[in-house]
Amino acid sequence: MFITPEGKEIFVVDGHTHFWDGSPENQRNIHGKQFVECFYAYHTALSPREQLWEKSKFEKYSADDLYRDLFIDGPDDVAIVQSTYLKDFYKNGFNTVERNSEMAKRYPERFIVNGSFDPRDGQKALEYIHFMKETYDIKGVKMYTAEWNGASKGWRLNDPAAYRCFELCEKLGIKNVHVHKGPTIIPLNKDAFDVHDVDYAATDFQNLNWIVEHCGLPRLDDFCWIAVQETNVYGGLAVALPFIHSRPRYFAEVISELLFWAGPEKILFGSDYAIWTPRWLVEKFWAFELPEDIKQERGVDLTPEIKEKILGLNAARLYDIDIEAKKAAFARSPFSIAAE
Amino acid sequence: MGTAGVSISREEELRRLLAQVNDPELDEPVTEMGFVERAEVRGDGSVEVDFRLPTYWCSPNFAYLMLDGIRKALDGLSWSPAYRVWLHDHMFAKEVNRGIEAGKTFGQIFGELSGDQDLESLRETFRVKAFKRRQEAVLCGLRRHGLTDREILGMDLAALDVVRFEPGEAAKQMPRYRAALLERFPGRRPEDPVFVTSEGAGIPNSALGAYLAELRGVRINMEFNGALCRGLKHTRYKEADVVDGEPTLVDFILDRVPDKARPTQAPLT
């Protein structure tokens, strides 16, 4: 719960969190080392100085660290935990649904653990979707289209094999598809970031919600265009939001474009924990006001009502979270974690 | 002038040519981005360049375009030296280094991984983006200057050339926009308007606002990349080795050396 300086309670759903193991013991090869190092570079590049972690803690942090950073020191009420396998890079995977669910089971009211699958696995992917639904009752999945798998260096949401998986998701009621839009590795000569496959998938699967993490940045214009066309496309603020600290005017321009094109109902807060912790992000976001000239130019505003939607109400709607029921459940289940 | 003088002028020439190589995605010089980790004129006149990108995962096509730009820059050195360029800590470093050294095209280096599309269309995509980003900075600068949309869109090259901006983005981008305009439209006449779309079409007075909104989208994306690359590069380079604690050519390129500390001899031999 975030309490505003005026004393208002804001329900926070953190749409993008991780519980990973990127430690050297778990790294399978140089790619695993470079992957978590790249995350660490994001962490050090965009965090306020007083929020920086030691590299070894960043590589592998405890469940208690996570509970503390998100819910005790941090303002999150509910955290959506995304699963990312990367089994070509990490012996036990980077953060699998098994590992995430194990971490989440101590405070089940606090977590929504999403699964993941790789359509290139064919029949096995379909079986795995069944397994995740039956074992963990997942409500959503995280898709990582840039993931390597043997000789393949990436896939697209509108590949036929992916469509078979989404058909099954729809049938089983797994309705939220978070899509990480990052660099796709091949074909190597293409513009490296592309969100157009979301357009096809969102059109063909109207009953699924498509949450584009990082708002497709650095292809914000493409993302905005798709979000205007498709009523079931949402933007996750992870990675865009930390700019609020280092380059606030730039963040103002990004959020203004999102408000103008996608609208206040379609934007979701996400800390991308443990790359960033939610407390400073939410505090700065609440205190943030659009510069007058940008407001005028785009004809949008970032009012407290809109901030409240972005911080929690929008995600609560996608995941059928009954906020009052949640609050009552939290009261019955206080935290008890090891002292630092 | 002794040998030290020769090597200094060669260092300067090397520095000047490398500063003309742009990161295609960001439209900023690779030297300003700090990607050139070391650029050295050796005792025998040969040249060595170490190149390192912000992450291991940076797009291989962009890495190739930049290294190819560096290769062309080095081909332009007045003393025609032998040279070597290395890409460090990149997932395709081995392939790219070998290929660049052999003067291979991107398609030859990556074979089937690159599909059938030529890199030229990617280059053109980036040329258009650079054109738009530079143009936006100048247009916004002129608006801030107090000119009406009509006055701005009526400008020809002579009118543009007398404009003086306060130091800032518009001042920085003005000569770069001018260069992009002349390169893009070699057949343009002096009296033609200087502000046209990347396709060369005129912009109606009433449409400048909407046109600027489109350009803004291009800049927001490019700035995202730029800010991220700078941040990531800074983080990564903090671990880079210092060469014997002495300033290197990169320090000069990045202007990290105070004037007084500049040695009279070439920083590297």
On chain A, the residues whose CB falls within 8 A of the CB of B58 are 183
Would an 8 Å CB–CB cutoff place B246 in contact with chain A?
no
- CB contact residues (below 8 A), chain B span 129-158, against chain A: none
Q: Nearest C-alpha of chain B: how many angstroms from A3?
A: 31
Whether pLDDT at B259 is above 80:
no
The interaxial angle of helices B208-237 and A248-261, nearest 10 deg, is 130
- CB contact residues (below 8 A), chain A span 26-55, against chain B: 31, 34-35, 37-38, 40-42, 44-46
Interacting residues of A154 by C-beta distance below 8 A, sequence separation 6+ = A145, A146, A147, A148, A184, A185, A186
Would an 8 Å CB–CB cutoff place B124 in contact with chain A?
no
Whether B15 and B249 have beta carbons less than 8 Å apart is answered as yes
Residue, of B126 and B263, whose pLDDT is higher? B126
For residue A79, list its beta bridge partners: A14, A111
A280 located within any domain: yes
User: Does B117 contact A190 at a Cβ distance shorter than 8 Å?
Assistant: yes
How far is Cα B189 from Cα B178, in angstroms, rounded to an integer?
14
Q: Are residues A102 and A41 both part of a single domain? A: yes
Whether pLDDT at B263 is above 70:
no
User: Does B61 contact A189 at a Cβ distance shorter than 8 Å?
Assistant: yes
Q: Quote the pLDDT of residue B248.
A: 41
Q: Which residue has the tokens 């592998």?
A: A60
Residue, of A165 and B264, whose pLDDT is higher? A165
pTM for the whole structure: 0.86
Select the highest-mean-pLDDT range: A330-339, B114-123, B214-223. Answer: B214-223
Residue, of A108 and B224, whose pLDDT is higher? A108
Q: Nearest C-alpha of chain B: how many angstroms from A234?
A: 18
A255 located within any domain: no
Would an 8 Å CB–CB cutoff place A191 in contact with chain B?
yes
Query: Model confidence at B38, in pLDDT bands (50, 70, 90)?
Result: very high
Whether A128 and A89 have beta carbons less than 8 Å apart is answered as no
How many domains does the structure of chain A reveal? 2
Sequential DSSP letters for A4-36: PTT--EE--EEEEE---B--TTTB-SHHHHHHH
Closest CB to A191: pick one of B55, B89, B122.
B122
User: Does B62 contact A243 at a Cβ distance shorter than 8 Å?
Assistant: no
Q: Are residues A122 and A109 both part of a single domain? A: no
Low-confidence ranges of chain A (pLDDT < 50): none
Closest CB to B217: pick one of A45, A187, A220.
A220
A249 located within any domain: no
Query: Model confidence at B55, in pLDDT bands (50, 70, 90)?
Result: confident
Would an 8 Å CB–CB cutoff place B210 in contact with chain A?
no
Among A217, A236, A255, residue at a domain's last position: A236
- Report DSSP state, residue A273: B
Whether pLDDT at B253 is above 80:
no
Give which of B220, B222, B237 to mutate to test A binding, by max A Cβ within 10 Å.
B220
User: Does A44 contact B122 at a Cβ distance shorter than 8 Å?
Assistant: no
Which domain, by its residues, includes A173?
Answer: 118-236
Protein fold of B3-116+239-261: GMP Synthetase; Chain A, domain 3 (3.30.300)
User: Does A218 contact B222 at a Cβ distance shorter than 8 Å?
Assistant: yes
Q: Which two tokens mark B215?
A: 């350009």
Whether pLDDT at B269 is above 50:
no
Q: Are residues A72 and A165 both part of a single domain? A: no
A146 located within any domain: yes
How far is Cα B39 from Cα B49, in angstroms, rounded to an integer?
4
Q: Quote the pLDDT of residue B153.
A: 97
On chain B, the residues whose CB falls within 8 A of the CB of A44 are 235
Q: Are residues A142 and A229 both part of a single domain? A: yes
What's the distance, CA A130 to chain centroid?
A: 23
Query: Model confidence at B252, in pLDDT bands (50, 70, 90)?
Result: very low
Q: Which CATH number covers residue A129?
A: 3.20.20.140
A248 located within any domain: no
- CB contact residues (below 8 A), chain A span 139-178, against chain B: 153
How much is the CA Rg of chain B, to the nearest whole Å? 21
Q: Nearest C-alpha of chain A: how many angstroms from B79?
A: 33
What are the residue boundaries of the structural domains of chain B, listed by start? 3-116+239-261, 119-223
Q: Which of B13, B164, B216 is nearest to A298 (CA)?
A: B216
Would an 8 Å CB–CB cutoff place B232 in contact with chain A?
yes
Would an 8 Å CB–CB cutoff place A187 in contact with chain B?
yes
User: Does A189 contact B218 at a Cβ distance shorter than 8 Å?
Assistant: no
User: Does A188 contact B222 at a Cβ distance shorter than 8 Å?
Assistant: no
Whether B217 and B167 have beta carbons less than 8 Å apart is answered as no
Q: Are residues A107 and A127 both part of a single domain? A: no
Would an 8 Å CB–CB cutoff place B241 in contact with chain A?
no
Q: Based on the number of CB atoms within 10 Å of its own CB, is A299 exposed (0-12), middle (13-18) or buried (19 or more)?
A: exposed
How far is Cα B27 from Cα B199, in angstroms, rounded to an integer?
19
Q: Quote the pLDDT of residue B13.
A: 96
Kindly state the average pLDDT of the residues B11-37. 93
Q: Nearest C-alpha of chain B: how many angstroms from A113?
A: 28
On chain B, the residues whose CB falls within 8 A of the CB of A224 are 217
